[in-house]
Structures are given as C-alpha cells and as structure tokens.
Chains A and B, each alone.
Chain A
Amino acid sequence: MAYSFPEEVLEHVFSFLSSPRDRNAVSLVCKSWYEIERWCRHRIFVGNCYAVSPEIVIRRFPELRAVEMKGKPHFADFNLVPEGWGAYAYPWIAAMAEAYPFLEEIKLKRMVVTDESLELISKSYKNFKSLVLTSCEGFTTDGLASIAANCRHLKELDLRESEVEDLSGHWLSHFPDSCTSLVSLNMSCLGSEVSFSALERLVARSPNLRTLRLNRAVPLEKLANLVRHAPQLVELGTGAYSAEIRSDTFSSLADAFSACKQLKALSGFWDVVPSYLPAVYSACSGITSLNLSYAAIPSSDLVKLISQCQNLQRLWVLDYIEDSGLEALAASCKDLQELRVFPSDPFGAEPNVSLTEQGLVSVSEGCPKLESVLYFCRQMSNAALIAIARSRPNFIRFRLCIIEPQAADYLTLEPLDAGFGAIVENCKELRRLSMSGLLTDRVFKYIGTHAKKLEMLSIAFAGDSDLGLHHVLSGCDSLRKLEIRDCPFGDKALLANAAKLETMRSLWMSSCSVSFGACKLLAQKMPRLNVEVIDERGPPDSRLESCSVERVYVYRTVASRQRLDIPDFVWTLDEDSSMRYS
C-alpha cells in the first residue's frame, strides 16, 4: 500500500521534533521515514566524536546547519587522560567545510581545536552564527581574531572553561565596526586584558546583546560603563569585583545595574570586595542564576547577597557559605533547583570552613524544587544521606564528593552504602550519580536494583570486587556513561557484561584491575566496541597479559576501530586480532 501522506507532509510533521532522540526514533520506523528524516535534519548531536566518522555523518545528513559534538571523556577534566590522546576537531571542521557551506552553529566540548580550525570556520561558512567551545584547548587568541574578523553575522562566541593560549587582548579589536549582530559573548576564561575601548564600542553597537561574560582583567571601575551600554542584558559575568572603596564608583555601578530590568544571571565576582555587592541589589529580585564560585568572601556577605535573590533557581558557591549560610539559603530561596558547593581549599589537611553534611540536609529539607546537587564536603553520614533522600525524592542529579577518599560514615564508622542506597531507592528519576566515601559492593547492589533511570555514574575508590561492577552493568537499564577510577573491578564483570557495553556510549576505567588479556578478549568478542588501552608504560605486550592496564576506555563505534590520530600510548585491536598501535 502506498503512503497516503506525501513526503512534504511528513517532513512538516517532523519539523516539530527537535530532540535528537525523537528524530532518531522516527528514523527507525521504516526506510522511507529514514530517508525523509535524514534530508530534513538540520541539527545533530554526536556524543563521542569517535563513535562515527565525518564521512558517515555527511553521507547520511546532507543538510546540517548545526553540529554539536563531544570529544574526551569526562575524567579528562581531572587530568586522567594524557595529553595528546585525541579528540581533534580539525578533521570534522575540514570535512564539513566542504559539505556544509551553510553551516551556522558549531558546539564542541572537550575537543582539541587549533587556530587552523578556527580560521577554516571563519572562512568556510558564509552564514556562520554561533561558536561554543566548552573545555576545549589547542587554540590561541589569534584563532579568535579570525573568527572576530571574518564571521560577518556572528551572534555567539562562547569560550566557557576553555584553555586558550592568550597571546594578547587584540583579538577583540578585530570585530569590524559593521558587526552589530552579537547576542552572546563569553570570554571569561581568558587572561589578558582586551582593549577596553574596543570592548565598549562593541557592546554599544550590539543592541541584541543578551549575554556578556567578561574576564577577570576587566576592572570594576569600568564595569558600569559597559553595563550602561547594554541595559537589555540577561546574563552578565563581571570581571574582578574589587576596587578602592569610593562612593562615586559605587553609585555609578548601582545606577547602571538599576537600569537592567531583564537581568537573570550573574557570574564572575573574582576578588570580591563585599562593600560593592549591594550595587547589584536592585537586580536581585529577577536573578534566577548566581555563580559565586570565585567569590572568596565570608558566609555573612554571601548570605546578604543571596537573600536578596528570592527567585533564585541556581546557585554555584564556594564552601565559605558554610552550614549557616546554606540554612539561610534554604529559608529564603524556595525556588532553588540546582546547588553546587565547591571546596575553597581542597588539598588542605584540615577543614578551613564549617561546612558539613548539615548544609546539604538543610537545603534538601527547605527547598522543595531542588533536583540537582554537586556538593564537596569533608564528612558525611548515612543518617544525613537517608534524611536527604527522604526529603528530596525528586533529585535528578546527585553528585557528592567527600574530599578524603574512602571516608566512612563519621558517626558510625560504617560504609556509606545505606546512605547512597537510600538515594537511589527514593529518587526514582535519578539520571546522574557521583559517589564518594567508603563504599562496598553492597551499594552497587542497591544501584543495580533501584537506579533504573540512571544514565551516568561516577565511581572512585569504591567497592570490593567484580561483583560491584557486575551489579551496575547488569542492573542499570538506562546506563549510558560509566566512569570508574581506583576500584578493584576487573575482568570477570567486564567480560560477563560485554554486550551491555554496546548499549552505552562509553566506559572508562583507570587504576582498576582490568588485565590486558581481558581487553584483547573484549575487543575480539565485540567488533562494534573500540577498546582503547591507554598506558604510558610502553607496549602492553611487553608485560604479562594478566597485568592490569593503567586505563581502558571502551566505546561503541560505527567508525573504524583504528583511528588515524591514535597516539603511541594508546593500543587498540588490529584486524589480525593482535593489539598494536598503528
């Protein structure tokens, strides 16, 4: 039977589907839907740049306008992935420059991006609008200058958390006077000072500017001038928030902020001088997102600011806030959805602030909409975790880092199995979990039994045996990303659950007990998995096969398992079933 719907109608229906998952589902219905869908897909998300090749993407999707891609595994943020491992953007940029002259948006995370790539972007895509580089590296401010100079319709340049070789601040001056299209500029990760007058003129001629995140080098005395040119700002990241205490500086700043009626997010606040914080008070009632993770000021000053923000939904703050400050937060910010508390002195032997599990308990009890937490502290108890789980069954993301590895329940000296067990049992929608503290195989049994919606799990210094890993791999139905370090997990669990690994994006294991022999066997058994042995001690076959590898990174892929950019400390299985590097 022929279809009663013409293709155009189906295409129109598909145009209402924006989520990649929906689009992927649609493409699996039948061959003709696959065909129709691929011609009208304009945005694509590639969670692992090595899971697929540029050629495959280009062949399937001829009409892309926006590409989002991730490279290195998450643990690269903590220096666990050696330099030179991979995730180079250039092959993608070069291939897409040919195939998609109308590409508008590129969003990369944890990839190596060179100045060459940036120049190619700036010159290849006539209608380029948005470049977002999160935690990327490999480029200098010269590359930024190309983007500024050549992208005539640039709306967004966002370098969040990237590591940029800062040759000078002149790159900003490359934006031509004719460029008035900027909507979002995030240069907070840069060190050098840019020409302030160039910055001021750029802001003044960008009527659509909604997001401006300055770098630390922009002095507070000049902030008012900038803000005055952009009262329409929705998100502002200040530079260094300190200056000599002068009433004219203060009033100028306060006036500028009072004109910003749409401000929803504030960040920056390096080197905060608390006396200048009241300058932003007029904007606080509208603020929904506050990033104070660089504000090294005492709890009382933090609380004074936070309690002005009754509509706060997201707060990132240092542990200077202490338990008392978190209690105040719980009392005043009933709309709070996300809280991140970062350690001010993570390597200190002794606590420098009074922040304990109690702070998290207060916020969990007091904030009914709290669903996402990242919390660093130095002590935890099962009782506290159970209380938290009971107060807040709506957690989606729960990441707890107890600073000392394998720290037990400080009250009972028991492992924290029961506490984390309560979290997974009560929080049925939990999608992401990071655990710490003293944990045995038992916690993994709880996780495998209850955490059915869990998509990402991070484990460190935990577990007793392979049984722990087996519980997770066999029980967590929705698991996509699993990252493990320093756990006694080895071959048995891995090999017994080989098929599971194909249903996941990736598995990372470092400083565990996985042998080289098992890696080979896994790669042989599972042709659609790439099993990368990342070991800086030289060829794994120069050691016993039973020897543990330093790191193994396993990911599903439809691209070749011998990636061309493989460095000499990474080994993958060759066609002739021997493990060697190419």
Chain B
Amino acid sequence: MELELGLALPNHSANNNGFETENHKEYRQKRVFLEDHSATGVEGTTLSLLSWSGVAEMEDGVGRPPKYRKPHDDGGPRRFEGWPPTDSSPRRRRSHLTATEQVVRKSMHVKVKMEGVAIGRKVDLRDFDSYHDLTSTLMDMFAKYSKIESGEEYTLLYLDKEGDWMLVGDLDWEEFVESVRRVKMLKNDNKMGFRLLLSKN
C-alpha cells in the first residue's frame, strides 16, 4: 500500500509512487484542485510560462461564473453542467443505459483518506472481495499508522464514477468496485450510513 501526504495538492499523473510535501505544488495545466483541508491559493513560476495576458486562472476566473460547480468540490476534477458534451446526461441515461456503466477498469487503485489524518493511503481493490474485507483492512491500516481513538465511529463515503460522493454500501460489491474512484472516512456525528467501529477487536 502506498503512502500519500494529504496536505499537498493531489497528483494527477498516472504513476503516483512518490511522496508529496507541502511545498511541492502540482499543477494540472492552469487549474487547481484544492482539498478542503489544504492550503488555498496557488502562486508559482509556471504561470509566467503562459504567453497570453495574465488571466489568473484561479477557481473564480475572470468572466467565468462558477455557477455549475458542484458544492462538494473536494478531491475530484471540477465538474461543469453538461461537460464533457457526451449526451450521457441523466436525462439520456434514463432512456437507455450508456457505456459509462460498463467501464472496463484498468487500474484498481483508489485513494483512501481518513478525516483528521494527514497521510492518505492507496489500496488495490483487487485485493478484496467484499465490503467486510475492505473495511477491516482499512481499520487495521489507519489504526497502525495513526492515533485513532478506539470506539470512534466513522462514516465511509466513496466518489463514484460520475463524480458524486455516495455512502458506501449502496451497491453490490462488484458494482461498487466498478464505480468507486476514491474513498473517504469521516468522523461520525450521527450520520446514517456505513459505520466503521474502530475498536481493536
């Protein structure tokens, strides 16, 4: 399992096998993906490579009202209504199922972040064959590397292939594996959902 510091900006290159420190800011072209707990604002020398008149392409670019951005904009790429223009809108999905529901995955690695823990993890879903298998491994993993109060309850969420955060457990295991892109564990404050009891037995 791979380690990944949670404070830095997510590295979107295909091979994620290094450490990222707070000072290493990774750009995805001009745009910035901010995790909700990380430092905001991006300054960097790469902006001066751009040859057009410096439109600072921050989250709120000039003349681009971010109206359609999803409210939970953490961890995934920025989503715009109707983009990309593939006609696989929910409207069309109702008529006939599209091929996005049959994604043939090449990579089974997903990032897992636990709230309050700086260091994220990556797991290979091919190592598991059930929710129970996955969650008990996660419990062991985070308990080993971080100080977790035993008896603490966590809610498990996953980012699905449509970019929505969903409660883990709503799909069959196989469907979940096809759909999941990231996992996060939030401290439970009376939320309904998949509960992980982090006691040591």
Q: Which residues of A contact B (CB under 8 A)?
A: 75, 77-80, 137, 161-164, 188-191, 215-216, 270-271, 293-298, 318, 320, 342-353, 376, 401, 403-408, 413-415, 438, 440, 442, 460-461, 464, 485-490, 511-513, 548, 550
| Neighbouring A residues of B78 by C-beta, 8 Å | 405
State the CA gap A343–B87 with chains docked (Å). 11
Cβ A406 vs Cβ B30 within 8 A: yes
The answer, yes or no, to whether B12 is at the interface (CB within 8 Å) is: yes
Additional A-B contacts beyond A78-B85, A404-B31 (13; CB < 8 A): A78-B81, A79-B89, A161-B95, A191-B96, A294-B98, A345-B161, A347-B162, A348-B181, A404-B28, A405-B78, A406-B57, A442-B52, A490-B63
| B100 close to chain A: CB less than 8 A | yes
User: Which of A318, A348, A350, A404 interacts with B99 by CB under 8 Å?
Assistant: A318
Residue numbers in A under 8 Å from B46 (CB-CB): 413
For residue B94, CB closer than 8 A to chain A, the reply is: yes
A298 and B102 CA atoms in complex are apart in Å by 12
A303 to chain B, nearest CB (A): 15
Q: Does B84 contact A (CB under 8 A)?
A: yes
Interface string of B123-135 (1 = CB under 8 A from A): 0000000000000
B58 within 8 A of partner (CB): no
Which 9 residue pairs spanning A and B have beta carbons closest together? Answer: A488-B63, A78-B82, A296-B102, A440-B52, A513-B63, A78-B85, A79-B89, A79-B82, A346-B84
The winner among A77, A415, A486, A513 for most chain B CB atoms within 10 A is: A486
- The complex places the Cα of A351 from the Cα of B53 at a distance, in Å, of 31
**B192 on the A face (CB < 8 A):** no
Query: Quick check: A77 and B30 within 8 Å, CB to CB?
Result: no
Is there contact, CB below 8 Å, between B104 and A344? yes
Specify which of B28, B51, B87 is in contact with A77 (CB 8 Å cutoff).
B87
B105 CB to nearest chain A CB (Å): 6
Q: Once the chains are docked, how many angstroms separate the CA of A407 from the CA of B106? A: 24
Residue B1 CB within 8 A of the other chain: no
Contact of B84 with A461 in the complex, beta carbons under 8 Å? no
Of B64-72, B143-151, B165-173, the segment with at least 4 beta carbons within 8 Å of chain A is: B64-72
* B82 pairs with A75, CB closer than 8 A: yes
Interface centre among B64, B88, B162 (most CB of A within 10 A): B64
How many angstroms from the CA of A489 to the CA of B97 in the assembled complex? Answer: 36
Assess the B96–A189 pair: CB atoms within 8 A: yes
A37 to chain B, nearest CB (A): 38
Map CB proximity to A onto B42-70 as digits: 1 under 8 Å, 0 otherwise: 00001001111101010000111101100
CB within 8 Å for A349 and B83 given contacts A215-B96, A512-B63? no
With A and B bound together, what is the CA distance between A405 and B107 in angstroms?
Answer: 24
Q: Is the beta-carbon distance between B106 and A352 smaller than 8 angstroms? A: yes
For chain B, give the interface size range.
Answer: 35 or more
B24 to chain A, nearest CB (A): 18
Say whether, besides A163-B91, A488-B62, A77 and B104 are in contact (CB < 8 Å). no
Contact (A271, B102) CB under 8 Å given A77-B87, A403-B84 = yes
**CB under 8 Å from chain A, chain B span 5-46:** 12, 14, 28-31, 46
A500 CB to nearest chain B CB (Å): 22
> Can you show 9 pairs from A to B with CB atoms below 8 A apart?
A78-B87, A344-B99, A344-B104, A348-B161, A350-B107, A404-B29, A407-B29, A486-B64, A486-B80
Q: What is the minimal beta-carbon distance from B185 to any residue of chain A, in angstroms?
A: 19
A163, A297, A298, A347 interface centre (most CB from chain B within 10 Å): A347
* Across-interface contacts of B64 in A (CB, < 8 A): 461, 486-488, 511
Partner of B88 from the list A346, A351, A415, A486 (CB cut-off 8 Å) is A346
* Interface: B120 (CB within 8 A): no
Q: Which of B81, B97, B107, B162 contacts A352 (CB 8 A)?
A: B107
Determine whether B76 belongs to the interface, using a CB cutoff of 8 Å to chain A: yes
**Residue from B14, B46, B55, B84 whose CB has the most chain A CB atoms within 10 Å:** B84
Does B92 make an interface contact (CB < 8 A)?
yes
Chain B nearest CB, measured from A317 CB (Å):
10
CB <8 Å contact, B82 and A349: no
In the complex, the chain B residue whose C-beta lies closest to that of A216 is: B96
Q: How far apart are the CA atoms of A294 and B88 in the complex, in Å?
A: 12
Q: Output the nearest chain B residue to A293 by Cβ-Cβ distance.
A: B99
> Is B79 located at the chain interface by the 8 A CB criterion?
yes
**Which B residues are CB-close (under 8 A) to A270?**
96-97
A320 touches B96 (CB 8 A): no
B86 within 8 A of A: yes
| Residues in chain B near residue A414, CB distance under 8 A | 50-51
User: How long is the Cα–Cα vector from A114 to B126 in the complex, in angstroms?
Assistant: 48
A347–B51 touching, CB < 8 Å: no
Looking at the assembled complex, report how far the CB atom of B195 sits from the nearest CB atom of chain A, in whole angstroms: 27
Instruction: Please give me the residue from chain B that is nearest to A78 by CB atom.
Output: B82
CB < 8 Å neighbour of A188 from B50, B92, B96, B163: B96
A188-B96, A348-B181 in contact; A78/B83 too (CB < 8 A)? yes
Q: By the criterion CB–CB under 8 Å, are B100 and A548 in contact?
A: no
Q: Which residues of chain A are near B87, meaning CB under 8 Å?
A: 77-78, 161
Complex Cα distance A563/B99, Å? 39
